Amino acid sequence: TNTQENKILINYNFIYKKIISNYTFFKFADLLDKSVFVALSNEYKKFPFNTFFGQRTDVKDRIFCNSIQSKLLYELGKEFDTAKCKEFFGNVCNQNFIKCKTRIELCNDAKGSYLHNHVDDKAKLFTLQVYLTSLQDSTILNNSQVTAQENSGWFFKNTGTEYHSLQPLSDNRSSIIVNYVNEQWRNQSVLVN
């Protein structure tokens, strides 16, 4: 059996594709190691689903992986915070994320939740969403809907032009959102340390 030190959480050989339209983003598949994904598929069910109407800040009880009672989600946050992971995504996005802090959130989004079209906070230099569940209707990037499929998702380097939104969900959807943030990020309590 693997020890915690050599457990593989992220599959660095995952498949990704660059999409260029109004802005550049990347779609990917099989980001998480298969055994980790299976474990996460059980783990997210331990947490409540939340509804939001237009903004994620509507969610009262957000689930930040650095501070919840889940060893697996905590370890995943630590992995996304490693220099190896930041260098990997930095090389793909052509930006240095090494000095960034990591914010990682489990998003259990309830049926009917939606997001207005928006760009991310300037302090977020990188945004990634990996879906834990499959759902036909999901995030809209470049005016095109990205279907939520298990262990797939998208990411982009934040340049302030990456408008994205979410039509009302037809069912519950679970995902993980990872951000690399700079020193201007205000709420330090949600960051991996």
Instruction: Give the pLDDT band (50/70/90) at residue 5.
Output: low
Instruction: Give the pLDDT band (50/70/90) at residue 41.
Output: very high
How far apart CA 90 and CA 96 sit, in angstroms, is: 5
Query: Residue 114: what pLDDT?
Result: 94
Average model confidence (pLDDT) for the chain? 93
pLDDT in tens, 22-38: 999 999 999 999 999 99
Query: Residue 6: what pLDDT?
Result: 65
pLDDT in tens, 124-171: 999 999 999 999 889 999 888 889 999 999 999 999 999 999 999 999
Which of 59-63, 109-113, 119-123, 183-187 has the least mean pLDDT? 59-63
Give the residue, 110 or 1, on which the prediction is more confident.
Answer: 110
Structure tokens given for 161: 């032009």
pTM: 0.94
Assign 132 to helix, strand or coil.
Answer: coil
What is the H or E stretch that residue 92 is in? helix 83-93
Query: Residue 100: what pLDDT?
Result: 98
pLDDT in tens, 62-107: 999 998 889 999 999 999 999 999 999 999 999 999 999 999 999 9
User: With left for phi above 0 and alpha for psi between -120 and 50, is residue 142 left, alpha or beta?
Assistant: left
CB 146 within 8 A of CB 71: no
Instruction: Give the pLDDT band (50/70/90) at residue 108.
Output: very high
- SS3 letters for 9-55? CECCCCEEEEEECCCEEEEEECCECHHHHHHHHHHHHHCCCECCEEC
